[in-house]
Chain A
Amino acid sequence: KPASVKLLLNGGEKITFPLKNGYFAFQGIPAGTHLIEVSAPGFFFSPLRVDVSARLHGQVRASLVETGRVLSGNLVLEPMRQEQYFEKREPFSVLGLLKSPMGLMVAFMLIAVVVLPKLMDNIDPEEMKKIQEEMRNRPSPSFSNLLQGARS
């Protein structure tokens, strides 16, 4: 909407609005260096440095402050980028659901229910016996021992 676009000179000292065809003009500006800023909802414009020459009858030299690019010929201001003020809401997806803590919980449960018994099945019955014997021989590891074991 052009009606909501505003151009400000030197921090709001002078204000103008673009016409319907997009042209804008500041009138009665003394010679010197000025700063033009653009306020346009939804767009980011670089401030524009304008040097108005006193000797050369108001010759104007303009450059973009952010990038340092010198504008030649007509002053055409282009937005540097479009501003997206809002985060995009991710559409619902099964993967997203799975990634959520609850989804992870369910997935872990499923794994625990389905896969772990299978693992147990895969272990050789003889080896199983061996392990069980070892377990009997050793004193049952307490929780703190386990923690220490993990740390070392």
Chain B
Amino acid sequence: MGSWRRWVLAPALLLVVLAACDAIYEDQVGLWDWHQEYIGKVTHAVFQTASGKKRVIVATEKSVVASLNLRSGEIFWRQVLEESEPIDGLQVALGKYAVSLSRGGSLRSFHLPDGSLIWETSLYTSPSPAQLFLLPSDDLLVLKQGIVYVVSSADGRLLWTADLLDERLAQTSLSFEGKNIYVAGFSGSSIALFRIDASTGAFTTLKTTEPLNPSSFVLSSGVFAALDTQGDIVTGLMEGEVVELQKTSLATLLDSPVSSAQLLPDKIPGGCVLSTDGGSIFVLGLDKKGVEVLQQIQGPAVVSNSIVLDGTFAQSFLQRVNSKEIRVRVLSGKEWIETAEETVEVDPNKGGVQKVFMNAYIKTDRSRGFRVLIVGQDHSLALLQQGKVVWSREEALASVVDTLTAELPLEKAGVSVAEVEHDLYEWLKGHVLRLKSTLMLATAEEQTALQALRLNNADKTKMTRDHNGFRKLIVVLTSSGKLFALHTGNGGIVWSRFIPELSTKGSLKLYPWRIPHKHVDENPVALVLGSSHDGTGFAAWVDMLTGSVQETLALPYSVKLALALPLVDSSERRLHLLIDDQNKAHLYPTSDESLSLFEKYMQNVYFYIADKGAGQIEGYNIKSQIDSGEEGGLVFLSQKIWSVLFPKDSETIAAITTRRADEMVHTQAKVLGNRDVWYKYLNKNMVFVATVTPQDSRVGAANPEETWLVAYLIDSVTGQILHRVSHAHAQGPVHAVFSENWVVYCYFNVRNHRHEMSVLEVYDKSADGKDVLQLMLGRYNASVPFSSFSPRNLEVKGQSYFFPSTVRTMSVTFTARGITGKQILVGTIGNQVIALDKRFLDPRRSADPTPMEREEGVIPLSEGLPVFPQSYLTHAARVEELRGIISVPARLESTCLVFAYGIDLFFTRTAPSRTYDSLTEDFSYALLLITIVVLVVAIAVSMVLSQRKELREKWK
């Protein structure tokens, strides 16, 4: 009897599997997903205001060339170039091409209106810093460590090149004067000066009257100026064969003693800018006669580029008045008189100004106005004009390093009646519109009204918790040291906080310090761990709902590792252990209560430290408390209990992955088609380590016969290697995800030249032969405490598949209870996120599954993993330079929130097994109501009819 059922079930199941890619309709874009585009911290900017659309072309630290709307700051277009190659120069040539120079020597020209590529020239292939200049003839000049390239801006043709010197110049300066190009370079021991003919590239080496060893130097309009180590400023005119040097003492020139000074590389035609250690800035004029002070600006200031105004030049200087105000001073003309001064109020949460770009415009009353583009310490970009901030962009969000989610506060009771009535009216209106649209009665206007209504649902952005757990705050930490809280509803910034003490170097991490469950009224707190500017550790405690910094602490040691312990104190603060570079453990919070809690737990603390450079993993436990000395705090000594050493010449660690500590697993048992039960080996201490054969990282160079990838499963408590498997012809980079009892990892197969994805599933076979009841009550139950020391009989199953794209990052979905199936979230090289059903990565897949396996839902084996277009979570959007995917369980079991970050941010939600526990968003309540009403009416009518009929029958 069962067999026919199987045959019916098998194709049905297959259909379900294939249809389970949780796709959305096109009109649902933006309903619960959002996509934000960023560019990163701006390093170069060129204004383009002469004609047509007013815009500013920028290049950023993230290797993005973008064109921004000058009035609103919106992105017209952007192109993301090679991640590993910073952009060294940006110019606008011929008024229509934006030309960028990458570190790898690629000169690219983009069409200004739409950003399409016009031409591309590769000047050199060895990556080295270079500078890009625009010649007066509108051709481009690249100066790279003493080699000059001149390129035609029309088609990218190399016009001429001049190799000035055999030695490489570490520091260079360049200026144009008439037909000549002057280059000054410093090779580390002596200065070299050159004059080049701009049209032919013929050059002459100039000699100086005496040898020079300058600390800084600059070339300006054919005049050379340098600061030598004796505190003198040396100037010389670049004429003839020999440059005659004139020395002037800085102290007499500036009329005050100066201990150290520096010539800024910013260009002023016919002059230079000198900054002293006192913070003052001097504008010096340079000419044949020598040097003179033109202007002096007291206090530290940031200097902008200079622009040409009516034949003379102008430059702006930005000074910080106080934490809220910035003074912009514009100096111009031959005498460098102050022509404009404005004080602008800015957000105090931005830190200092790091870069300024200036532009001039004609106001409506025909007077001249200035606008400046400022780059803040927090990577933000803002345009100041007429004493106001016209727009600003939070570019720190392009460099997210860590995220946490916080629950919003509970909804307060007491909503006014008017609000409910209004809501009810809106709700009804929405449903009437929707019904009309389903019945195709709606006009085009009503359609757009409906779409707007759906997109701007006020419920979406409420600052309270919702029933399904879709509304949360995403707290993101960026590499600039700025924290943001984004609302999951529309991605709006709820708060932002810049922590200036955090150093941008070193790792930055976020930890959930306090997640209140009992005291619901209190706010959750996050712990930010980073390093301060002197390299030691730095910790800050930040309220996750308001963004206020509760406490900061400069740690006297640098933090190697932080462990969140499964212990909370009476005020629900989680105990954390910070491991310092001497492997001593510091316990936080430092209270007596936490100490007594920890002492009970101490012998169960194990941790491991992986040293990728040395190729080893070491396991530690906590030995004893030691006297912390004068630093105070609770310090414990750790001892090494095991170590795994990988042979250095054949294996380097490529990836280390563990299970997420808060992962929920619904069931330990897996029931097969033949009613057998397999038990998942759910060991939270299991670590997946992948090693690859060391080599130079280029894909093409490796010899396919000699590359191996070895995957290990290691128990991090005992150091025991539970499983080891090797893949031939495999090469990194390796990405891996670890969830429940399985690991999925991907690598590059050199021989087939394809990407592969492998799965390992670990089952506990020591439970075999016992019946289910015994297991439910006995010692193999998942709820029984698990010990790494009890011996196990493990069975590991594995299988590999091809994957059609390079993988940038991988993650896996998490749901509230772990009942729902899993999806593997793959970030592809095309910057998209693919949701891949775990059932495709099932090691039990075979070419011809038995009917029993079919019934269970095992998919027949195929060599490649299928990618359905509907399984792209990002649909048509691109998350440029995708670096991470975070999944957060919603309260609704079927649904998981997904946040992907790179240069862009993208948020959506996914239901790996479809939304089986809620009605879809577009469920027509109105239709349901109408059906019920119709049914009630039908019942009433038929009742009357039947009564009449009965009456008639009785009369018969």
Contacts and interface: CB of A to CB of B under 8 A. Distances in A.
Interface in B566-618: none
A11 B876 contact: no
B534 interface: no
Interface string B930-942: 0100110010001
Interface in B706-765: 733, 748, 753-754
Interface residues of B, number: 60
B830 interface: yes
B248 to A, nearest CB: 47
Contacts of A10: 698-700
A34 B699 contact: yes
A46 to B, nearest CB: 7
B876 A3 contact: no
A87 B23 contact: yes
B806 A49 contact: no
Contacts of B23: 85-87
Contacts of B125: 28
Interface stretch (B113-121, B260-268, B273-281): B113-121
A41 B869 CA distance: 11
B420 interface: no
A85 B120 contact: no
B645 interface: no
Contacts of A142: none
Nearest to A18: B117
A85 B876 contact: yes
A77 interface: no
B24 interface: yes
A20 B831 contact: no
B839 interface: no
A33 B120 contact: no
Given A13-B698, A35-B699, A39-B830, A28 B870 contact: no
Contacts of A87: 23-25, 870
B105 interface: yes
B82 A86 contact: no
A41 B116 contact: no
B458 interface: no
A47 B804 contact: yes
B120 A25 contact: yes
A27 B699 CA distance: 17
Nearest to B806: A11
A19 B82 contact: no
B26 A89 contact: yes
Contacts of B25: 86-89
Interface string A61-92: 00001100000000000000101111111011
A51 to B, nearest CB: 9
Interface string A1-38: 01110101011111111111000010110101111010
A116 interface: no
Nearest to B77: A3
B117 A17 contact: yes
A35 B753 contact: yes
Contacts of B119: 19
Nearest to B877: A41
Interface in B73-132: 77, 79-84, 104-106, 108, 114-122, 125
B362 interface: no
A105 interface: yes
> Which of A17, A44, A88 has most chain B Cβ within 10 Å?
A17
Interface centre among B80, B104, B700, B869 (most CB of A within 10 A): B700
A102 interface: yes
Contact of A91 (B81, B440, B806, B869): B440
B876 A42 contact: yes
A135 interface: no
B82 A12 contact: yes
A128 interface: no
B927 interface: yes
Contacts of B114: 3
A11 B82 CA distance: 10
B43 to A, nearest CB: 18
A66 B77 CA distance: 32
B27 interface: yes
A2 B440 CA distance: 36
Contact of B438 (A3, A85, A92): A92
A98 interface: no
Interface in B907-927: 927
A84 B870 contact: yes
B81 A89 contact: no
A102 B869 contact: no
Contact of B105 (A25, A28, A37): A28
B869 A85 contact: yes
A37 B830 CA distance: 8
A111 interface: no
A105 B125 CA distance: 71
A14 B82 contact: yes
Contacts of A131: none
A113 interface: yes
A115 interface: no
Interface string B864-898: 10010110100110100000000000000000000
A86 B33 CA distance: 14
Contacts of B104: 14
Contacts of A16: 117, 120
Contacts of A102: 927-928, 931
Contacts of B942: 113
B875 A85 contact: yes
Contact of B116 (A3, A25, A33, A49): A3
Contacts of B115: 3
A3 B25 CA distance: 26
Contact of B878 (A11, A41, A81, A109): A41
A17 B116 contact: yes
A27 B700 contact: no
B927 A2 contact: no
B8 interface: no
Contacts of B77: 3
Nearest to A82: B869
A27 B931 contact: no
B831 to A, nearest CB: 7
The listed residue with most A CB atoms (<10 A of its CB), out of B84, B117, B701, B934, is B117
B385 to A, nearest CB: 29
A109 B934 CA distance: 12
Report which residue of A12, A19, A105 has the largest number of chain B beta carbons within 10 angstroms of its beta carbon: A12
A20 B116 contact: yes
Given A41-B876, A83-B869, A32 B701 contact: yes
A66 B938 CA distance: 60
Contacts of A49: 753
A15 B29 CA distance: 29
Contacts of A20: 116, 118
A86 B875 contact: yes
B829 A11 contact: yes
B413 interface: no
Contacts of A11: 699, 733, 748, 806, 829
Contacts of A113: 938, 942
A27 B876 contact: no
A90 B927 CA distance: 17
Nearest to A100: B927
B219 to A, nearest CB: 31
Contacts of B50: none
26 contacts: A3-B79, A3-B116, A11-B733, A11-B806, A13-B82, A13-B84, A13-B699, A15-B81, A16-B117, A20-B118, A25-B120, A27-B121, A28-B105, A33-B753, A35-B699, A37-B805, A65-B753, A83-B872, A84-B870, A86-B24, A89-B25, A89-B26, A89-B27, A106-B931, A109-B935, A113-B942
Given A15-B81, A28-B125, 16 more contacts: A3-B115, A11-B748, A11-B806, A33-B700, A35-B753, A39-B831, A42-B876, A47-B804, A47-B806, A81-B869, A85-B26, A86-B23, A87-B24, A92-B438, A113-B938, A113-B942
Q: Which 4 pairs show the lowest CB-CB distances between chains A and B?
A: A32-B700, A27-B122, A39-B830, A83-B869
